[in-house]
Amino acid sequence: MGSMSRWLDVEAGADDININTLPTNVTFSDLQNDNEVKLIIGDFGRGDDGPRLKIFKGAMQISDLTLPDLPLGVVSFYAVDSNPRPQPVIAVAFSSSVHFYRNLKLFYKYYLPSVELNAGELDIWKQLTNPSNHNEVIILKLTESLHNMPHKVLSIQSRDFLTLTFDEQLEYLENTRELPKRRSGEIVCISSIKLSSVDKHAVSCLVLGTEDGEVIVLDSQTFTQTNVVNISPVKKTPFQIVTTGVYNVDYRITVATREKSVCLLKRDWKAGRILFNTDDHIIAIEVFTTDNSVLVICADKTFSCYNRKGRKQWSLILEHRPICLTLVPISHLGMTLSAVALVSGHVTLYDGKYPRDNIFIRGGHLLLKILKRTADFNSNSTGIESSEANISQRPWLIPKKSKLFLEQAMRERENPKAMHEAFQQELNRLRLLTAQTLLEAYRKSDNFVGAGNMEPIRLSAEVEGLGPVFVVTLIVHNTSSERAVSGLSVLFQVISTGYRVHTPYIKVPLIAPGNQLKFPIKVEEVFSENVNPDVFFRNVTGQAGDGSVIKVLLLKEGKVSPVLAATVTMPPTDPMMIPYDKLETSNFGQNISQK
Amino acid sequence: MGLLDKLSSWMGGGGKVVTVLVLGLDNSGKTTMLRTLTTTEQEGQRQGPGASSVPTVGQRQENFQSGGVSFRAWDVSGAARLRSLWERHYRHCDAVIFVVDSADHLRLVVARSELELMLSHPDMSGRRLPLLVLANKSDAPHALSAPHVASALGLERITDKPWHVCASSALSGEGLGDGVSWLARQLREKH
Ligand SMILES: Nc1nc2c(ncn2[C@@H]2O[C@H](COP(=O)(O)OP(=O)(O)OP(=O)(O)O)[C@@H](O)[C@H]2O)c(=O)[nH]1
Ligand SMILES: [Mg+2]
């Protein structure tokens, strides 16, 4: 399968790497500003090894930092906009704080503001700590009312107190005079959002999700709260946040909750709304930046897609329980795949709902695969071997012969002669069509090898360059061994207005027998004032589309129709070479977001 | 060979002019290598070696001489989006220098796959043109040795072309002389 695969496997010793973490603790960052992306993992550690932040360059671990607690999310972002480009900041979230690292040094700690104690809870504790109330009846009554309060609003002290037996409670109360302190908030998830530009190095601010069902946006420089919103009118607990858009312009914060629903928050909304509910617990979500559709994997082994309005588009049943989901943008092909990892260690890449590739990885390991430059994802032809093996073990689902099929077979047996005749007739018609097309081509001289009178001439063309100015080299070859040709000229015909030919008419001098002449001609792709943003996503080796055809006509003195014609398909201009001064950046951004 | 080419080879003291194609991934050191070669040959007409180079867009042409052979070298860009342009040069080249960043362990597989694509191209396969592989950046930390690079690229499987691998440092020029004189020897024998 090696030669068939779309991937190149990096063999550099990643074998002894032992990772123990969750998907939210894995991120990428150009940590050293050298245009080389590093892999950053907040690792839980194993056994005696505590939690650590591990940095990998390729498959090589280059640094390692002790973390104070189990991490629950790692995010990398740019906090300031300066020139030269600043180092990215790594934010590691723990349940009560977020630590910020720059240059791998801790430089700031953020704590969620603590929450005032519930008045009722405080009142109960006042009575509990009063020694005159220390008898069974009253304590049981107070414990009961404490128990009846929603568990989530209780302080740690109350929660602990409720787990004790009555004797332990009594003993606890005898030793304690203190009222519970203010309750500190708990962080459950972390994400980031671009502040005012989608540029790769643009400033972002942090977005936190809390146990109390709030989403908090932190200022990118002061790390103070700039916005706090509830994710839903009914209390829901977030566990994953995905942001799309730009905070100062327009954005969507999509939140997966533990209560089997996905909530949505938009700019200027006072509170979030439920976008849709799922049948079983959500394991992970992802959101496409292009159309804001939401992918969801659930505990019932489903993988589904919902549109931006929350309507279900499609759903698949997976073979095993999914454990994580991510988007895989393949920018040079202009597509975004999604990857779903299953407990079995299989990772499947999907284009929409169609599986395109399969990868297998052992738990705890690091696997590095590089997509081949020539790979495409248009069909399912490669890399599905492992699932094919599964299929061969399963019995084939062969449908029963239908009535329709039986009737058809019967008719075929009855009418062999008529069928044969019909086939022969169609074959002759095809032959006639071929001959007509050939004659037509000959009459219109739409061919690059001469026939009849002009037999010894051949015309060919080569295109070179990155654009917008290309060089088309025309080669006129006299293939005859005794006759010279003269009186020829070349005329360019541009079908659309997208190209300008610098010398559209050339007189060809005499060509001696067996010789050839080359004519390098400049052809320029012309861009109109408002360029369609699609041109930026064209492939360098692909073709520029229908308008990119140029006809080259070889004319002979004294003849009315051209003797030869060649068609040259121009390659698209490399996006890097497109004259940017013609584009208005603001326009360009709008076009993108409307799509 | 055209008249102009013949003229320039007479002027160059009877040496041959051969076209050599310099290939390799982006950031492997192709431009730096050529700059070092041209400055040592034509003393100090350009910026000194070691001046850092910018990524090449498209292609550039450089000329240098070694072992009685005049080289016309095509330095092409190694960026992934532009690698498909390499094949434009295959038909017109007499030799290939393939530059590998021996400290870039991660992308050795990519270099290998590009080398294989090049060798199997219709304009290349079956032609006995010499292939010089430079295991470049040998001065960098964690650089792999030349034999290690050779086996990672699977050079032992190339049977239709004479090939040679040597460790080099394009910045200091170390190892370049060895490699290029091997290439000159091969080309003198052939022409
Ligand atoms: N340490 C070390 N660095 C080198 C060496 N050769 C090149 N470099 C550095 O590698 C970087 C890239 O070198 P270039 O010569 O521009 O690479 P290139 O192959 O021409 O790259 P493209 O034009 O993008 O295909 C530069 O920063 C060089 O200074 C070497 O032998 N040792
Ligand atoms: Mg270069």
- pLDDT per residue over A361-370, tens digit each? 887 788 888 8
Distance in Å, alpha carbon of A58 to nearest chain B alpha carbon: 6
B88 vs A contacts (CB less than 8 Å): 464
pTM assigned to the model = 0.65
Encoded tokens for B95: 């030799």
Predicted pLDDT at A420: 87
Neighbours of ion ligand 2 (CB under 5 A): B 30-31, 56
Please work out whether the CB of residue B32 comes within 6 Å of at least one atom of ligand 1.
yes
Residue B28 among known ligand-binding residues? yes
Across the interface, of A8, A11, A540, the residue whose CB is closest to B81 is A540
Residue B27 among known ligand-binding residues? yes
Q: Does A374 touch chain B (CB under 8 A)?
A: yes
Q: Is A327 exposed, middle or buried (0-12, 13-18, 19+ CB in 10 A)?
A: middle
Encoded tokens for B150: 């050779």
Instruction: Tell me whether 0.85 is exceeded by the ipTM.
Output: no
Residue A131 contacts by C-beta under 8 Å, 6 or more apart in sequence?
none
Q: Does B92 touch chain A (CB under 8 A)?
A: no
Q: Would the pLDDT of A564 be above 90?
A: no
Predicted pLDDT at A272: 92
Predicted pLDDT at A106: 93
- Ligand 2 center to residue A29 CA distance, Å? 26
- Ligand 2 center to residue B62 CA distance, Å? 12
Q: Does A62 touch chain B (CB under 8 A)?
A: no
If you measure CA to CA, which chain A residue comes closest to B114? Answer: A373
Contact A257, A248 (CB under 8 A): no
If you measure CA to CA, which chain A residue comes closest to B78? Answer: A373
User: Are A60 and B107 a contacting pair at CB < 8 A?
Assistant: no
Q: Does B106 touch chain A (CB under 8 A)?
A: yes
Q: Would the pLDDT of B14 be above 80?
A: no
- Ligand 2 center to residue B100 CA distance, Å? 13
Please work out whether the CB of residue B49 comes within 6 Å of at least one atom of ligand 1.
no
Please work out whether the CB of residue B27 comes within 6 Å of at least one atom of ligand 1.
yes
A95-117 pLDDT, tens digit per residue, is: 889 999 998 999 999 988 877 77
Q: Does A332 touch chain B (CB under 8 A)?
A: yes
A283-299 pLDDT, tens digit per residue, is: 999 999 988 999 999 99
Residue A454 per-residue DSSP state:
G
If you measure CA to CA, which chain A residue comes closest to B59? Answer: A465
Contact A238, A215 (CB under 8 A): yes
CA distances from A337 to A287, A292, A298, A352, B93 (A): 12, 14, 19, 7, 39
Q: Would the pLDDT of A182 be above 70?
A: no
> In 3-state terms, what secondary structure has residue A52?
strand
What is the number of the ligand closest to the CA of B27? 1
Minimal CA–CA distance to A260: which of A242, A239, A246? A239
What is the per-residue DSSP string for A385-423? HHHHHHHHHSPP-PPPPPHHHHHHHHHHHH-HHHHHHHH
